Amino acid sequence: MLDFLGNLERTHYCGALRASDAGGDAVVMGWVDRRRDLGNLLFLDVRDRSGIVQVVFNKETQPEAHAKAEHARSEFVVAVEGKVIKREKANPGIATGEVELVAAKLHILNHAKTPPFPIEDEINAAEETRLRYRYLDLRRSKPHRNLALRHKIVLEMRKAMDEMGFIEVETPMLTRSTPEGARDYLVPSRVHHGQFYALPQSPQIFKQILMIGGLDRYFQIVKCFRDEDLRADRQPEFTQLDLEMSFPRQEDIFKVIENVMVRVCALVGIPVKAPFPHMRYKDAIRKYGSDKPDLRFDMELYEVTDCFPAEARQKLQIEGNVFALAAPGGARYTRKQLDELTEKAKSVGARGAYFVKVLPEGTTSTVEKLIGAENVKKLVAACAATSGDLLVAVSAKERIKGTEAAALVAGQLRLYLGETLGVIDKTQWKFLWLTGFPLFEWSETEKMWASAQHPFTGIVEEDLDKLESAPWEVRSKGYDLVLNGHELGSGSIRIHRQDVQERVFKALGLSEEQLRKRFGFFLDALTYGTPPHGGIALGVDRIVMLLAGEKSLREVIAFGKTTAAQDLMAESPSEVEKDQLQQLGIEIRKK
Ligand code: ASP
């Protein structure tokens, strides 16, 4: 019943046929997208990577082909030999809509079970089902487009890096732990029982060693692995554009990345101007309540602690600073909407949310009784609120000194209000460099200082003396690239002196023995003439996601994992055979 492909040669992709092909012969191959049987005429829409073409089977002129087509079902694999003709009535809905293929011969190359969901652009199937049958999901045109775009972006990155004198070097996947703040994925050694490789959280140490090795300019499009509790925009394995260069100034690294991003954005017709603006971390927190501010809209934050007199602060249990913003159009919010906003504020950590409605007929406020009319006026002036605005002020419990808890809460409300009030200009692409990060942040869980980025991040020279005495004041030479409120990547000028690197490890609480054991090889390498160096890594998946206009990373990864870190199609992770465990010297303890 099934035909062999034999020596049959495809002449055209389905989606490529045009009016100019009319009159010629064509052989197309692909999947049956749809079958319509009108008696004497039977239509098969045949689909491949490039699109769809309508094939018509005529019972009178080609009875054999027609009879065979009656057996074809959705997702059967077919080859059709025929003649291209102009349609009497064009279908402007598809690229091949001006023509159809009149079948002379049909080859049914394979059968298909009825798929669990129709292969269509608009898809209603649950994401779990789509992931389980990813090969069917991939037949849709959108995943094709996304993967093709991903290919183009990565290709452009490679071309740009090559043209700027960078050499792509592969670094090991089976290695030892590289600290990037996540848990390691471990691989047990069969040869050395009880010993483990770690999959790289990033090639950080290796790329620095390449600089010690004199490579000067390295890059790599590379997989990294981090065992974290997953959020919507994370994957346990992800791809970075990773780079490192010797003797760089910060602006040299920025220039390289700006060049890459301008070129990549041009692929999808987004005009981007370099250089990108810079902002200091502190200003980002105070003005936007975020370390990745979305600059597609204003709605800046203002510190308004002064507008809350001591007595009111006590009554409202306000600790730390109060931050406020003016939301344009928010003055029309109903009582119910304000309640919802209060709930939202609380859910992101606010202690209290206080509102002022600025209306032509006058200003009303939920806290006027507590802070007085004068202070309400002061608030309105401080936030430059105008008629129609809703002024939102928030307080929050200060958890870590100097981290401006209320600003972070206000920053979340800024995003929420920006979205709900529709003031974000979605046509804009706003890149931003963030600099001036602290070197350390306090880890509440570990009760000690942790690297804000990773322990190889360079230190602003004047702050070196404070490493031991006032670690919280030490500024790093790190930077982040932000686009429309998303962190695209981060990097730094590195520590290149062994003595400084050792002091940082110690400030992080590593004992002499621990640091020898974990980083001894690296500390050694640093003593053999390490050039000043620096670099950065960008998240490729995230860049593709944004440029493809997608909301989930899984839409731009061929075989993505769920938020529970599972591959539903390959059913991994999975149990393994007993003798495999034995060879590894591993025993599983049942819970
Ligand atoms: N290794 C860093 C990361 O993966 C990037 C860098 O510092 O170059 O985030």
CA of 296 to the centre of ligand 1 (A): 26
The answer to whether residue 59 scores a pLDDT higher than 70 is yes
Atom of ligand 1 at shortest range from CA of 456: 7
pLDDT mean over 87-96 = 95
Our answer on whether the CB atom of 556 is closer than 6 Å to any ligand 1 atom is no
Which atom belonging to ligand 1 lies closest to the Cα atom of 224? 4
Of 396, 362, 361, 357, whose CA–CA distance to 379 is shortest? 357
Residue ranges with strand state E in 296-349: 302-303, 323-328
**Cα-to-centroid distance, 271 and ligand 1 (Å):** 27
* pLDDT in the model for residue 402: 63
> In 3D, which of 394, 370, 391 has the Cα closest to residue 319?
394
- For residue 10, what pLDDT is reported? 98
C-alpha 50/C-alpha 213 separation (Å) is 46
Exposed e or buried b for every residue in 148-163, given b needs 16+ CB within 10 A? Answer: ebbeebbebbbebbee
Q: Is the CB of 202 under 6 A from ligand 1?
A: yes
Q: Per residue in 339-377, pLDDT tens?
A: 999 999 999 999 999 999 999 988 999 889 999 999 999
Average pLDDT estimate for 227-245: 89
- Residue 362's pLDDT is what? 87
Q: What is the pLDDT of residue 60?
A: 97
The C-alpha atoms of residue 279 and residue 282 are separated, in whole angstroms, by 8
Burial class of 480 by CB neighbour count within 10 A (0 to 12, 13 to 18, 19+): buried
Segment 36-40 mean pLDDT: 95
- Tell me the CA–centroid distance for residue 6 and ligand 1, in Å: 51
The proportion of the chain whose per-residue pLDDT surpasses 70, expressed as a percent, equals 99
CA distance linking residue 53 with residue 45, whole number of Å: 6
Q: Residue 3 class from Cβ within 10 Å (0-12 exposed, 13-18 middle, 19+ buried)? A: middle
The pick from 180, 202, 533 for probing ligand 1's pocket by mutation, whose C-beta has the most ligand atoms within 8 angstroms, reads: 202
CA atoms of 546 and 365, how far apart (whole Å): 39
pLDDT at 401: 63
Ligand 1 centroid vs 278 CA: distance in angstroms?
A: 19
Could you tell me if 304 and 323 are in contact, meaning their C-beta atoms sit under 8 angstroms apart? yes
CB 526 within 8 A of CB 115: no
Please give the C-alpha separations between residue 173 and each of 170, 178, 456, in angstroms, as whole numbers. Answer: 9, 11, 20
Indicate the burial class of 243 (C-beta count within 10 angstroms; 0-12, 13-18, 19 or more). buried
- Residue-averaged pLDDT of the chain: 95
Lowest mean pLDDT among 52-61, 399-408, 468-477, 494-503: 399-408
How far apart are the C-alpha atoms of 393 and 350, rounded to whole Å?
10
What string of H, E and C letters represents the secondary structure of 532-567? CEEEEEEEHHHHHHHHCCCCCHHHHCCCCCCCCCCE
Q: What is the pTM of this model?
A: 0.94
- Closest ligand 1 atom, CA of 494? 7
Which atom belonging to ligand 1 lies closest to the Cα atom of 178? 1
Least confident of 91-105, 151-165, 365-379: 365-379
118-132, 160-174, 205-219, range with the lowest pLDDT:
118-132
Q: In this predicted structure, what is the pLDDT of residue 232?
A: 64
Q: What is the pLDDT of residue 32?
A: 98
Atom of ligand 1 nearest to the CA of 244: 8
User: Ligand 1 center to residue 79 CA distance, Å?
Assistant: 49
Ligand 1: which residue has its CA nearest to atom 8?
536
pLDDT tens-digit readout, 291-311: 999 999 999 999 999 999 999
The predicted model gives 369-391 an average pLDDT of 94
The verdict on the CB of residue 171 being under 6 Å from ligand 1 is no
Q: Which residue has the higher pLDDT, 398 or 490?
A: 490
pLDDT at 448 over 90: no
**Percentage above 90 pLDDT, the chain:** 92
Q: List phi, psi (to 5°) of 11.
A: -100, -30
Strand order in the sheet with 167-168: 167-168, 217-225, 237-246, 533-539, 486-493, 478-483, 431-435, 278-280
Residue 19: pLDDT above 90? yes
**Is the peptide bond prior to 172 cis by the omega test (within 30 degrees of 0)?**
no
Of the candidates 582, 584, 587, the one whose C-alpha atom is nearest the C-alpha of residue 194 is 584
Strands 237-246 and 533-539: antiparallel
Tell me if 208 CB under 6 Å of ligand 1: no
Task: Please give the Cα distance from 34 to 73 (Å, whole number).
Answer: 8
Q: Which of 171, 184, 201, 204 has most ligand 1 atoms within 8 Å of CB, for mutation?
A: 204
For the Cβ of 457 lying below 6 angstroms from any atom of ligand 1, the answer is no
CA atoms within 13 A on the CB side of 311: 6
Q: Which residues contact 229 (CB under 8 A, 6 or more apart)?
A: none
Residue of higher predicted confidence among 177 and 167? 167
426-445 residue pLDDT tens = 999 999 999 999 999 988 78
Rounded Cα distance between 180 and 157, Å, is 24
Count, residues in the chain: 591
Q: What is the number of other CB atoms lying within 10 angstroms of the CB of residue 391? A: 26
Is any ligand 1 atom within 6 A of the Cβ of residue 451? no
pLDDT tens readout for residues 520-530: 999 999 999 99
User: Distance (Å, rounded) from C-alpha 155 to C-alpha 161?
Assistant: 10
